[in-house]
């Protein structure tokens, strides 16, 4: 391997392999996020990027370049990776409004016949393999295109930049992690073996875009606005997230984007000039995010998804009073937000950083580890007064709730105790509702044994369904237990358990 660059040391990341170097900022302060493929990742966001010096790797025949990306490419040119100035020895992978290209002065400008905005949501690995006079493009382990790619890129040592050109322009709108340079062509089997990244996701619904209400709220010192938004596409001009009052009113203020850049405008703020909130929303297209703007101590502090993303000084004589506010458009109409606004909170007492993070995490669902819930046995047989472990089996990181239905037994923790002859069902439901498992508890009669004539109750507590006129088992009945009926009853119990878990979780919020 010629290089392995992981953005895990906040700008001090060292590679493994032949090349060892420190990542340095190209323009502004490079931003990192804790939500990388492993550890941190470089959050380019269309603005900042990093570079490493002295890279000799020239992407020759029988070699591979791979890296993980997250987010959508914006309109125009977005750089994913570039080596050196645009002269012999330079190569770059970039997008034209999402369409993937490779440019090298020694070879030409090659259309790679794939659009990265068609890729899966979340983290996915792009790989570029030179083999047999072609360039093969893989995304998420699958071959998505192959094009002729012949010629030699000059072997020169240059800086290599991630997310921008070496001079810091044409930034990619998303995040990048795990850049790797291989001096061999990786096989399809190796690329297909790239691990699936199970990311946390926001669970929220609804859309209040275009709706209005009367409010006396003003964004004076010590107050905040919090907005759950999903941006479907990049807006080339203005897009309104929140606006109060008409522009001619001194009570007016608006939070908006211009070419993706987040700003606040109010007639009384900064002598009527827009206040840049120092955040680019290009990196947040395609999924729900939480925007929080806090006015405190002469500054507007901006958070995205519970993490501070920008800070701007502001001089603002805030005008109070009741007026109409709109979500996702101006009060006069126009500049509609290109997406959904699920919730907006106008907060009279600004939260601290911990509370902002908590508000975000309250809507986040963390995927569970691989594996399913299960029980060691489908049936637990007990005599009255007897007890046994229920035999639940679960992956270490999967949290779950156990529920027992039926009067034949009781459940204490993971121990089931027989109470009286009959049947009960134990249902296990993971906290997310994703995994469900069940087992039957059958308590026999010590006097007459567990026979077909034993008086049993199904999981819902109903009377046994034996035939009053014959000792023969009814169709579907086996060994005294009505298997289809019990299975259906258990399914009802599990469904009720799922609902109970979801209700409890909702109340906790």
For the chain, how far is it from start to end, CA to CA, in angstroms?
48
Looking at residue 92, its pLDDT comes to: 97
Looking at residue 277, its pLDDT comes to: 95
Looking at residue 434, its pLDDT comes to: 62
Looking at residue 41, its pLDDT comes to: 61
pLDDT at 307 over 70: yes
pLDDT at 22 over 80: no
Place of tokens 């001096």: 183
Beta strands, E only, 248-362: 253-258, 261-265, 275-280, 288-296, 299-304, 307-313, 323-327, 339-347
* Cβ atoms 404, 419 nearer than 8 A: no
Same fold across 3-192 and 374-508:
no
Among the residue ranges 77-91, 289-303, 342-356, 390-404, the one predicted with the least confidence is: 390-404
pLDDT at 33 over 60: no
pLDDT at 273 over 90: yes
Looking at residue 373, its pLDDT comes to: 78
Name the CATH topology of 3-192.
Answer: Jelly Rolls (2.60.120)
Mean pLDDT of the chain: 79
Give the C-alpha separation, 433 to 155, whole Å: 55
Looking at residue 39, its pLDDT comes to: 53
Query: What value does the mean pLDDT take over residues 466-485?
Result: 35
> Model pTM greater than 0.75?
no
Neighbours of 246 (CB within 10 A): 13
Query: What value does the mean pLDDT take over residues 37-64?
Result: 74
Among the residue ranges 240-249, 308-317, 450-459, the one predicted with the least confidence is: 450-459
Among the residue ranges 113-122, 318-327, 332-341, the one predicted with the least confidence is: 113-122
Q: Which residue has the higher pLDDT, 10 or 168?
A: 168
pLDDT at 227 over 70: yes
Looking at residue 37, its pLDDT comes to: 52
- Secondary structure (3-state) at 399: coil
The string over 130-169, giving b where at least 16 C-beta atoms fall within 10 Å of a residue's C-beta and e elsewhere, is bbeeebbbbbbbeebbbeebeeebeeeebbbbbbbbbebe
Provide DSSP, 230-270: EE-S--SSEEEEEEES-TTSTT-EEEEEETTEEEEE-TTBG
* Cβ atoms 448, 480 nearer than 8 A: no
pLDDT at 254 over 50: yes
* Cβ atoms 5, 12 nearer than 8 A: no
Q: What angle do CA 367, 372, 373 make, to 5 degrees?
A: 110
Give Cβ neighbours of residue 333 (< 8 Å, ≥ 6 apart): none
Give the C-alpha separation, 182 to 175, whole Å: 21
Among the residue ranges 42-51, 128-137, 209-218, 275-284, the one predicted with the least confidence is: 42-51
Label residue 63 by pLDDT band (50, 70, 90): very high
Digit-coded pLDDT (tens) for 333-351: 999 999 999 999 999 999 9
Name the CATH topology of 202-365.
Answer: Jelly Rolls (2.60.120)
Q: Are strands 392-393 and 374-375 parallel, antiparallel or unpaired?
A: antiparallel
Query: What value does the mean pLDDT take over residues 152-162?
Result: 92
Among the residue ranges 46-50, 70-74, 499-503, the one predicted with the least confidence is: 499-503
* Cβ atoms 234, 74 nearer than 8 A: yes
Provide the residue ranges of all domains of the chain, joining segments of one domain with +: 3-192, 202-365, 374-508
pLDDT at 239 over 90: yes
Label residue 99 by pLDDT band (50, 70, 90): very high
CATH classification for the domain delimited by 374-508, as one of 3.30.390.50, 3.10.105.10, 2.60.40.1080, 1.10.600.10:
2.60.40.1080
CA–CA distance from 365 to each of 147, 166, 203, 432 (Å)?
A: 40, 38, 7, 8
Percent pLDDT > 70 in the chain is 73
pLDDT at 156 over 80: yes
Give the C-alpha separation, 114 to 112, whole Å: 6
Give the C-alpha separation, 425 to 375, whole Å: 12
């Amino acid at each position: 391997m010629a290089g392995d660059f992981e953005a895990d040391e906040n700008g001090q990341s060292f590679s493994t392999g032949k090349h060892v170097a420190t990542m340095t900022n190209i323009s502004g302060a490079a931003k990192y996020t804790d939500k990388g493929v492993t550890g941190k990742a470089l959050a380019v966001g269309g603005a900042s990027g990093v570079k490493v010096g002295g890279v000799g790797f020239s992407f020759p025949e029988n070699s591979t370049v791979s890296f993980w990306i997250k987010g959508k490419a914006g309109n125009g040119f977005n750089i994913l990776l570039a080596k050196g100035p645009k002269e012999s020895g330079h190569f770059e992978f970039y997008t034209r409004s999402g369409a993937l290209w490779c440019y090298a002065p020694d070879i030409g400008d090659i259309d790679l016949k794939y659009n990265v905005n068609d890729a899966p949501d979340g983290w996915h690995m792009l790989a570029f393999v030179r083999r047999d006079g072609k360039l093969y493009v893989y995304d998420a382990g699958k071959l998505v295109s192959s094009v002729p790619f012949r010629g030699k890129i000059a072997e020169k040592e240059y800086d290599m930049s991630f997310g921008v050109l070496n001079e810091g322009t044409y930034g990619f709108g998303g995040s990048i992690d795990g850049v790797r340079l291989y001096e061999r062509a990786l096989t399809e089997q190796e690329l297909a073996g790239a691990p699936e990244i199970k990311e946390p996701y926001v669970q929220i619904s609804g859309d209040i875009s275009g709706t209005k209400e009367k409010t006396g709220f003003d964004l004076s010192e010590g107050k905040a606005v919090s907005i759950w938004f999903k941006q479907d596409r990049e807006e080339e001009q203005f897009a309104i997230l929140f606006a109060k009052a008409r522009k001619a009113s001194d009570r007016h203020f608006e939070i908006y984007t211009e070419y993706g850049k987040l700003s606040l405008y109010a007639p009384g703020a900064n002598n009527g000039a827009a206040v840049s909130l120092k955040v680019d929303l290009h990196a947040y297209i395609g999924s729900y995010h939480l925007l929080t703007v806090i006015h405190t101590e002469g500054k507007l502090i901006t958070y995205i998804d519970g993490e501070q993303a920008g800070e701007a000084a502001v001089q603002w004589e805030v005008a109070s009073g009741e007026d109409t506010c709109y979500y996702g458009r101006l009060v006069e109409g126009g500049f509609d937000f290109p997406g959904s606004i699920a919730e907006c909170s106008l907060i009279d007492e600004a939260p601290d950083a911990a509370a902002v993070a908590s508000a975000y995490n309250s809507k986040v669902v963390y995927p569970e580890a691989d594996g399913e819930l299960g029980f060691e046995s489908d049936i637990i047989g007990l005599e009255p007064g007897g007890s046994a472990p229920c035999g639940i089996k679960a992956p270490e990181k999967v949290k779950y709730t156990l529920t027992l239905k039926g009067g034949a037994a009781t459940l204490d923790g993971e121990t089931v105790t027989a109470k009286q002859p009959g049947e009960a069902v134990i249902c296990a439901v993971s906290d997310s509702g994703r995994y469900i498992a069940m087992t039957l508890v059958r308590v026999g009669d010590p006097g007459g044994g567990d026979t077909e004539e034993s008086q049993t109750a199904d999981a819902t507590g109903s009377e046994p369904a034996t035939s009053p006129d014959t000792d023969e088992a009814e169709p579907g009945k086996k060994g005294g237990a009505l298997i289809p009926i019990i299975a259906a009853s258990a399914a009802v119990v599990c469904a009720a358990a799922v609902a109970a878990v979801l209700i409890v979780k909702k109340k906790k919020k």
